[in-house]
Homo-oligomer: A and B are copies of this chain.
């Protein structure tokens, strides 16, 4: 789908947000939007524009001592009868409604406006617009560029414009998925005593998970709330057979004071005596708020929005920057609990405040 008009990066933030959202870009179908972003950025001689698949990177070369990376993804989850966008309410109550407004095209609008505007920022900036964030991690555009062109992502600090309601959220929790595999012995359910019921055996696993008290863990001054939950369960083969197997998939969201190995050791301890198999994991990221650049940014956010840093609980691509050795934080407009919902909507004042905070930091 091609936008009817080229993107105008000098228009107001609401118009730009709506233009981005009204060019649908569900994961795997980002090309039209990536083309429009690339074309718009190439109009600015202060930017070097690069392209890898549907990821567009634009860099200033103002000769500053430090370089920051400001990244956002172009794709969205599928449209749910919530496009085209609508502008609802006025003043402090004005909101842009529609798919992508929260996750995360309002943030992309802030990036694009500043990329056009800041010909001579106080720190060199690498603007990253990437593809395939909302699907399997193996497809993630930021991960791909980190493999194919890691030098494009080099920087002293990174800001990921995922929705945080315009508050600075540091680091992120890690995530670990395991399968707890229960083995029984099949038998006809009319002669149950000849078998051993694997689904009944899962009762003890669920009992421990139900009784588990998740920890609140302080890391670098921010409090990370953990969680240990069964997310899937499946067992049995037929309604007249004693189940010979049952699988409980458990997701542990762990604070960034632990690496994946430590997280797994904890899960194995909680589920001691059961067969625990890792299926998926991703390390968390420490908040990195002790870095001077981070302190400056936190001050700029506090000045623009009045809010102090908090911990990011969901896993985000800040962990990819962390893995590259670059401290990273989340900061962007929109309430993250509205992401992916059909009533996704973003307050205009958060878009304006996000723009103001980033602008202040990049021009101070």
Contacts and interface: CB of A to CB of B under 8 A. Distances in A.
A225 B314 CA distance: 51
Contact of A253 (B175, B189, B214, B314): B189
Given A199-B231, A232-B243, 11 more contacts: A188-B314, A189-B253, A190-B253, A192-B229, A192-B253, A194-B337, A197-B229, A202-B233, A230-B235, A232-B238, A234-B234
A242 interface: yes
Contact of A242 (B231, B235, B249): B231
Interface residues of A, number: 49
Contact of A251 (B231, B239, B337): B239
Contacts of A242: 229, 231
A214 B192 contact: yes
B229 A200 contact: yes
B199 A233 contact: yes
Report the copy number of this chain in the oligomer: 2
Nearest to A234: B234
Contact of A230 (B173, B175, B236): B236
A358 interface: no
A93 interface: no
A227 B177 contact: no
A246 interface: yes
Given A191-B337, A337-B194, A239 B246 contact: no
A200 B192 contact: no
A239 B243 contact: no
A309 B225 CA distance: 64
A203 interface: yes
A145 B211 CA distance: 55
A248 to B, nearest CB: 8
A280 interface: yes
B209 A200 contact: yes
Contacts of A253: 189-190, 192
A217 interface: no
Contact of A239 (B206, B210, B280): B280
B239 A232 contact: yes
Interface string A21-52: 00000000000000000000000000000000
B236 A231 contact: yes
Contacts of A234: 233-235
A362 interface: no
B236 A235 contact: no
Nearest to A339: B188
7 contacts: A189-B227, A190-B315, A199-B231, A231-B241, A231-B242, A232-B239, A233-B236
A147 interface: no
Nearest to A197: B229
Interface string A334-352: 0001000000000000000
B190 A200 contact: no
A227 B192 contact: yes
Contacts of A227: 189-193
Nearest to A237: B232
Contacts of A251: 189, 239-240
